[in-house]
Structures are given as C-alpha cells and as structure tokens.
Amino acid sequence: MADPTRSRFTLLRFTFALSIITFVDRVCISASAPAIREELGLSTVQLGWVFSVFTFAYAAFEIPSGWLADVMGPRKMLMRIVIWWSAFTMITGAAWNFASLLLARFLFGLGEAGAFPTTSRSYSRWFPRREIGNAHGVLFMGTRFGGALAPPLVVFLIALVGWRISFVVFGILGLVWCLFWWRWYRDDPAQHPGVNAAELDLIREGRAHDGQARIRWRELLSLNLLLICMMYFCVGYAFYFYLTWLPTYLKEALGFSTQQAGWIAGVILLAGGIATGLGGRLTDYLTRRFGLKIGRSVGVIGMPASGLILLGIASTKNSILAAVLFVFAAGLADLCTSACWTMCHDVAGDAAGLATGAMNTFGNLGGAISPLVVGYTVQWWGAWSTPVFVTAGVCMLAGLFTLAADPRKRLFSSDLPGLATSVPSGSQSISIENHS
C-alpha cells in the first residue's frame, strides 16, 4: 500500500504564511503609531480608540463569519476575507485625520473577522484529531512571527518611504497570497489531486463520518462554551497589550528609543511565536498521555505564571530587566494559545468554525478593551505601571476559567440525518445520535 501523501502540511504552510501576513497587517498600525500620532496630532485616548475600533468590528462579525465558514467552506471565505482586509490595509495609508483613520480601521476589522475561525475550520477536515493541536501551534506561531517581523520592518519602511506607503506594501502581500490559495486549496481533501487514499484514511482517523456538522444557535449558550469564551477573553486581553501598546510602553515607560522599542517588541513577539509552536506539540502530547482535561489545561499554569512576571515588570525600575521579563511573560501566555483553539474542536468537532468564532469573539472583545484600559489609565493616573497590574490580574483569571472549562463535554450538534458524531480520540467514547 502506498505511503500517505503529505498534502495537509502544504495547507499548514499556506495558513502559516497567511497568519504572518495577517499580523504584519495588524501590527503595522501599532509600530507606526508614533509617526501617525505625530502627523495626525492624536492624543493617547484617540490612539487607543484607533487600536480598539478594529477589534470591536472584528469581534462583532466573528460568529457570523465562523458560521459562514461552516456553510460555505474555507476556500471562498478566506478569499473574501483576505481581499477585503488587504484593501483596507492599503486604504489606512490614505487617512488624513482621526475620523478617517478610525473608519478605515473599523472596516479593516469588519472584513478580517473570521480569518482564524475559517482557518481552524479547514483543519477540522484536513488533519486527524491527534494533529490538531500541533496544526494550531504552527498557525499561531505565524501570528507571533508576523507580529515580531512588523515593528522592525515598519521602522525600516517608514524611514525609507514613509508610514503611508508602508501600508500599501503590506496590503499587496495578502492579494498575492489569494492567487495561490484559490488555485491550490479544496474544502474536501478527498477532492484534492495531491491527497492519496492512505492520507485520506489518516485524516479521517478517529471520526465516525465525514458529514457536515451544525450547531444549533441555542447551544452557544452552553455554560462550558461560555467558560471557554471567558478563558479566551482573558488571553485576548493580555495578548493585545503586547500587540498594540508594547512599542509605546517600551519607549515612554522604559526609556528606549523608537528603533530600540521596535526591535525589542519584535523579539518579545518572536519569543511568543516559539512558545506557541511548542504549546501545540505540548497539548497534543499531554492529551495522548493523560487525556483531554489535562492536555488542554496548559493555561491553568501558564497564564497565572505570566501574570506574576507582569507584576515583577510593573515593580522594577530596571529597563533591561523589564524587557527580559516581557519575553518570559509573553512566552508563557502564548504557550496556552493552541490548547484554547483545539478545545473548540474537542467540544464542537466538524462545527469548529462556529465554536471558534464564538470563542474568538470574546478574545477580541478582550483585545478591544485592553488598549482602551491602557489609554485611559495612563491619562487618568499618569502611570504606566497601572495597566500592567491590571493585565496581570486578567492573566490570573484566565487560569481559573481554564481550570473550570471541560473539553470532554461535547456540544450536541445536529449532523446529517442518520449519522453519529464521535468524540475525538483521547476522550471518553460517546456518540450522539442526531435527528435533524
């Protein structure tokens, strides 16, 4: 019998590249913030709203976009998403005042909504359950690499062509990606000429069928899914501090130059990317070894430990020490990311688009609130340590929500008539007969 082909790893390379582009396009606004703020005359609070309006729009459309990914398939959805966000990345460079910049970032967030739930949905059809955690680890490693690449790259481009042209350059990257994606990807791996029967059997390992799953909307009110969403609210809150205010914090609170802040922010996000990749392998290993509950509970230790390190950062006056501690704080937090996303596959199976969309809605609400909290607390109290203390407390809460969530509890989805949905391997063997 022929050895399995490895086409699913080509999909992983596509989505890894996309995640880099996604976060280059996101982070370029924070890396450009000092130049934009100076040219447009923005206050700290106005800049906070520029950061947050994208995330509010992104969060508002995550669930509908995740649902559309389940219905339409990732091929069409990602094309629409990437073309939209690439266009508004370029349009951002044309902003002339606070209102126009705010509108451009709102529409950018609206269009990008669903990018990661749609990508995660593609994994539910293309990867066996035992590889899902690692796939998400690689995906979100790309987001951190993109975030790490953006600050020094933006600083270089601003010096070369100005901040406005730099947004046009970044927008073109997504359009190029779309051309290759549309030619290569198929929603069903069985229809892809590069997937042989052996790889298809491997992909379907541990699944009762290949039917299209559906979650009834009322099932989004599940307490267990709510706990997962609240867990990711806290993760998103912490991550968006690094994603938005970190270069400014390094400059204004720790005294680094603009160039130094850009490079240090890049190193911190790079460390997070490495940790995210390791976290994907870790959650798969722990699940095989100890079962789903322990395997997906990386955040029980990782997030509170990150919070404790942030307390140390807020308390020290040594700039070099604070920068080093940021590396460890970001790394420990990102070690948990893959487990969070894989948990949605555990509870929702083939309806992962909607479940991850719900979770990422909360994550982006946390991400939208985070920059505003920073902006207002610095304006009201004049101390950069205050928002760091708040972020540390949110990390502690993430550990509690992770402990309370249970990836072994499946959502009752209504699949194709007469078919049953089995839980992933590593959890208790239960099937749900559906009568849709």
Give the per-residue pLDDT at 156: 82
Predicted TM-score (pTM) of this structure: 0.71
Give the per-residue pLDDT at 215: 56
Decide if 115 contacts 25 (C-beta within 8 A): no
Give the per-residue pLDDT at 424: 37
Write out pLDDT tens, residues 253-288. Answer: 888 887 788 788 878 888 888 898 888 889 888 988
Decide if 209 contacts 420 (C-beta within 8 A): yes
Give the per-residue pLDDT at 430: 29
Decide if 115 contacts 410 (C-beta within 8 A): no
Q: Which residues, in sequence order, are CB contacts of 295 under 8 Å at separation 6+? A: 133, 283, 284, 285, 286, 287, 288, 289, 339, 407, 426
Q: What percent of the chain has pLDDT over 90?
A: 21
Instruction: Kindly list the structural domains of the chain, giving each domain's residue range(s) and its CATH number in brackets, ordered by start.
Output: 7-188+221-413 (1.20.1250.20)
Give the chain's residues under pLDDT 50: 208-211, 413-436
For all residues of the chain together, what is the average pLDDT? 82
Q: From CA 177, how far away is CA 158, in angstroms rounded?
A: 24
> Which amino acid belongs to residue 239?
F
Give the per-residue pLDDT at 431: 32
Q: Which residues, in sequence order, are CB contacts of 3 under 8 Å at separation 6+? A: 198
